[in-house]
Structure 1
Amino acid sequence: MNRHSAHRAASRTRDSLRSLLVFVVTLAVLAGAVWGGWTIMRRGGLAALRGTLTGETNGSGDAGGNPVTVAVHGAAPQSLDIRTDASSAVEQALIGNVYETLVGRDQNNRAMPGLAASWDVSADGLTYTFRLRSGMRFSNGDVLDAQDVVRSLQRTVSDRYAGASDLTGLASVSNPDAATVTVTLLSPDAALPWRLSGRAGIVYDLDAQTDYAAAALGSGPFTVSGFSPGSSLTLERDGAYWNRDGRAASPSVTLRYYDDGAAAADAVTRGEADAATDVPAASLDALRGAGATPAQGDSTRKVLLGFNARADSIFSEVRLRQGMRYVIDRQRIIDANGAAAALGGPIPSLDPGYEDLTGLYPHDTAKAHALLDYFGYRYRLRLVYPASLGTQVGDLVAGSMRDFGYDVTVSAVDDATWREQVTERHEFDLTIFPMDASHDVTELASPDFFLGYTDSVAEGLAAAVRASADEAAYETNLRALGRRLSENAIADFLYVERPWSASRAGVTGMPLNRTDVFLPLAGLARA
């Protein structure tokens, strides 16, 4: 081979290597594009792509607003694992903020559209059909559809997540298509939509690898950006939240927890917090003096004076129970409390079946004498109640009875002692106790309830409540049950709590009702 032939051969070799290099680089670029496109489609499709192109990230983005700090009076979450942590603290912080539920819940404790835009129920009350919204996704970009709902409901039941007790009547759940979920029940449950607005209705991204104890992955308007167990939790706005109309008004909300309500109020007066939940009435003047605005909300936290109605107790006699209701000066208790309202019956205004029954047994010593004089005042009554309720309510209840002529011994005991002495051994005549839950009136009608009240009519009404096939029948039966229990004086319904919150000037959107268990913060803002 001559010199020119060798040069041409070398040139051809260099050209071949250059072509090969170009081919390899091109192939790599194309592979990256395909991989990126596949990932985008898997994690939210074109909606996620739009978020990438327009700068809508999972962070707070550039939507404006100012950070807000809320002083929360109550126990702080010790874990973020809402599946296994049954405390109200983690539910309060995460539902409606990080996690969303199949059915939503409004500030009046009523079911409303959530991830499901609508639903209907069959005439027999056994089949619910939920129709989902479109375009939903989790905060990591994964699409949320009917399959996620079905798997979440099934997993909640099979793995006994907190809230599984609300799904014991489930027969089957299926998704005939990506936008529809069908739930079939073993027996009617007219409260199912409301139950699905709580833990039982949380929809999880079960494809994601999540350390639930330290992180929370949901489809809500916030993500968790900081968590100090037992102390604080910071929510950060998800700038790519699927529901544009529901995006958070604040870039972040920090929840700081206080065991003492006065300390939470002080944080607001000192400017360390922008708002506070469940502050005591004694702090209201100081809050107003600092320019904050107190506001009162409603709750389902009820406080009752229960009568031992077992056969061997004097309060097995209905006229004694009714007469004692006339004896108790409930308004005096409410005024002293400062954060309470008259109740009258077992169902508060935020629950279905509510009826104003405050006129049934007003404080009236003349009517009390008409019922009680026949029995005399030879009884020495034992009032036993949990010291955690404070001494004020016990002193005022005992004071009403002593003013009327009864000899009363009062024992304020720790919670464990109260459960053993009152609920297990039934060694009491009267007891003061809280009932905090919503939709709990049927518990009082059960002959297994610790008060020992037996009434076939009330038991029949409770059965009718459980068998109600639709919301209208459910409310009607609840109302009848509530009236029966109040008329028969299973207890004296002392009050329902009406907690105070407070907000500094410029703060808007602070929730008011049932904030001990439900604190949706997307609308909270500070000017």
Structure 2
Amino acid sequence: MTFATARRYAFLALAALFLGAANPATARSDLTLAMVLEPPHLDPTAGAAGAIDEIVYANIFEGLTRIGANGEAQPALAKNWDISPDRKTYTFHLHQGVKFHDGAAFDANDVKFSLDRARAPDSTNAQKGLFEAIDQVEVIDPATVKVTLKHPSGDFLYSLGWGDAVIVGRTSAATNKEKPIGTGPFKFQNWAKGSQVALARSSDYWGAKPALDKATFRFIPDPAAASAALLAGDIQAFPSFPAPESVPQFQADPRFKVEIGTTEGETILSENNARPPFDNPKVREAIAHAIDRKAVIDGAMFGFGTQIGSFFPPHHPAYVDLTGERKYDPELAKKLLAEAGYLDGFKTTLKLPPPVYARRGGEIIAAQLRSVGIEAQIILVEWAQWLEQVFKSRDYDLTIISHTEPNDLNIFARDDYYFNYRNPAFKTLIAEISATPDGEKRNALYGEAQKTLSAGAPVAFLMQFPKIGIWDAKLEGLWKNYPIPANDLTAVKWAE
């Protein structure tokens, strides 16, 4: 290379350096993250699947309140509220200038429409119990709504923060399953069935603008594929990673951040209490003693997860450790089965949805049940089948599922819930909890409710599901914990 040529290259390199300094690279503003399950649709007010909220909660749809990263109820579409001395009347003051993504203006009439729709006799809302306390919803003016309760409800503001309680538009509610239209910072862009859902930032958003321009949710149920997609950079985040066996590999890789957090997901072996032999309490007790929870957690989740003895999260201040009430004891399980009239055991079926904890855990539990004389035939079902057959039609014997909704102890008080569990004493406790505003008294009642469930053994309580989050080390703002099944993108950004 001649001196003149070298000087020319040096000049070009120096010019490029100055141009780069004058025109810095645009910060990254897109994100592709992954989920295990594809939702059946995208309307959180018309379905029980947590996968719906994982996409739309706080991103597309908003409620009067919202659940924050630490599990607290915060203002959302309602900027503040007044509560009457008897705690039966809530007056909500709404943000003004808010629009739905189709351009329709949001006001108090949408709040009344949404709450009345959710609690109507023909409502398809999966959590109608959230609205049971509401007596009347009144529009005072376009920016003010008054909600009168039948009785005080200590959880009311928290309940309004669930995905099932988001505010929907009067003209767009009917089509939200396929084309969700909310007031959130992101608007729905497209849904490639079987592959992904894409969101784009809403330019008309009323609140603080998110840093991301675009977010794509990909569906990757296979654990090996999940690891491969992260390592290849095809996705930048898997907030609820399905391959716990691969966690050490990512912890050792500086390109990634690994966050082990908590969820509200009580993972259980559900039993159809209306079907023989599960209508017999001794049979249910036997099953509870036939299961080695630690073996399930170690085998299915590689040690990630916390044993539970009732339907309550260990991180809650009202938690009571009841794991000792149903210790692993195969001989006691056999004795209880004999007392119930099943000396030689019985045959049953175990329907398992796609998540790894269910499929892997199901194999382990089936073997444990077999050792006490219960032959459980494993039937693998897809997510849509599970929702239709098990959750909706209650056509099952046994199944494994993680209930990820927050503060949902009351589902065991619902006569029409898929457990088919009936316990008047428990229903009374739940009613007392709902009507008790004092925190200390409520926690004491929560403790009694946990003990009542443990004694009745309506299901076999397995573990509190962990949140294993893995994402690009330069990504900030994703939740470590899951106080609600949601991937809130409002504060997510790439580090500069």
TM-score (ref. length: structure 2): 0.74
- Which residue, 375, 388, 399 being the options, matches 1:409? 375
| Mapping 1:20-59, distance limit 5 Å | none
2:401 to 395, 417, 434: 434
Give 1:492 deviation, angstroms: 2.8
* Pair 1:330–1:130, CA change in 2 (3 A): same
- Which residue of 1 is the match for residue 29 of structure 2? 67
C-alpha distance in 2 between matches for 1:117 and 1:144:
14
- The amino acid that maps onto 1:329 is D
Pairs within 5 Å for 1:134-173 = 136-138=98-100, 144-154=106-116, 160=123, 162=125, 165=128, 166-167=130-131, 169-173=133-137
Deviation of residue 105 (structure 1)?
0.8
Q: 1:237, 1:427 → 2: CA distance?
A: 42
1:155 and 1:511, CA in 2 relative to 1: closer, same or farther beyond 3 A?
same
SS at 1:360's partner residue? helix
1:360 aligns with 2:328: no
The change in CA–CA distance for 1:156 and 1:313 in structure 2 (over 3 A counts) is closer
SS in 2 for 1:250: coil
The reply on whether 1:334 has 2:297 as its aligned counterpart is yes
- Report the CA distance shift for 1:136/1:114 in structure 2 as closer, same or farther (over 3 A): same
Give 2:140's match in structure 1, choosing from 176, 183, 186: 176
Instruction: Judge conservation of contact 1:398–1:410 (CA < 8 Å) in 2.
Output: yes
Tell me the equivalent position of 1:14.
Answer: none
2:145 maps to a residue whose letter is V
| Letter in structure 2 aligned against 1:283 | S
Equivalent residues in 2 for 1:44-443 (5 A)? Answer: 65-76=27-38, 88-122=50-84, 124-133=86-95, 136-138=98-100, 144-154=106-116, 160=123, 162=125, 165=128, 166-167=130-131, 169-206=133-170, 215-238=179-202, 241-244=205-208, 247-279=209-241, 280-288=243-251, 291-305=255-269, 313=277, 316=280, 322=285, 325-338=288-301, 339-349=304-314, 353-363=318-328, 378-388=343-353, 390=358, 392-400=360-368, 406-414=372-380, 431-434=398-401, 436-438=403-405, 439-443=407-411
What count of residue pairs does the alignment treat as equivalent? Answer: 458
Structure-2 change in CA distance of 1:218 and 1:396 (3 Å):
closer
Any conservation in 2 of the 1:109–1:351 contact (CA below 8 Å)? Answer: no
Q: What secondary structure sits across from 1:336 in the alignment?
A: helix
Secondary structure in structure 1 of the residue aligned to 2:432: helix
Quickly say closer, same or farther: Cα 1:311–1:271, change in 2 above 3 A: closer
Which range is displaced more, 366-375 or 195-204? 366-375
Write the deviation string for residues 177-218 of structure 1: whole angstroms up to 9, x where unpaired.
Answer: 454321123455443323322344323454789975665543
Deviation at 1:248, TM superposition (A): 1.0
Structure 1 residues 187 and 243, CA gap change in structure 2 (3 angstroms): same
Q: Could you tell me whether the CA contact under 8 Å between 1:105 and 1:112 is conserved in 2?
A: yes
- 1:333-385 CA distances to partner (integer Å, 9 max, x unpaired)? 11112243212211224778543333433446798799899899933243531
Counterparts in 2 of 1:310 and 1:173: CA distance versus 1, 3 Å: closer
Distance of aligned partners of 1:145 and 1:525 in 2 relative to their CA distance in 1, 3 Å threshold: same
Helix, strand or coil at the partner of 2:69: coil
CA deviation after TM superposition for structure 1 residue 176, in Å? 2.7
1:248-301 CA deviation, whole Å, 9 max, x = no partner? 122322222223343233211101111113321133244446532232333333
Does the 8 Å CA contact 1:126/1:188 hold for their aligned counterparts? yes
Q: From the superposition, tell whether residues 212 and 449 of structure 1 become closer, same or farther in structure 2 (CA, over 3 Å).
A: closer
Q: What amino acid is the match of 2:321?
A: D
Is 1:510 paired with 2:478?
yes
CA change 1:522–1:491 in 2 (3 A) is same
Q: What does the per-residue CA deviation read over 1:203-257, in whole Å, with 9 as the maximum and x for residues that have no partner? A: 345478997566554332223345434433333334553323xx31223222222
- Report the residue type matching 1:413 in the other structure: I
Aligned to 2:17: none
Deviation at 1:421, TM superposition (A): 10
Instruction: Please state how far the C-alpha of 1:106 moved relative to its aligned partner.
Output: 1.6
TM value normalised by structure 1: 0.71
Larger Rg: 1
Distance in structure 2 (CA, Å) of the matches to 1:474 and 1:284: 38
The alpha carbon displacement at 1:474 in A equals: 4.7
- Indicate if the aligned counterparts of 2:67 and 2:484 stay in contact, CA closer than 8 A: no
Q: Match for residue 458 of structure 1? A: 426
Gaps of 5+ in 2: 1-25
Query: What residue is the counterpart of 1:494 in the other structure?
Result: 462
Question: In 1, distance between residues paired with 2:71 and 2:460?
Answer: 24
The aligned amino acid for 2:291 is I
* Whole-Å separation in 2 of the counterparts to 1:93 and 1:422: 21
Aligned CA distance change for structure 1 residues 409 and 276 (closer, same or farther; 3 Å): same
SS in 1 for 2:464: strand
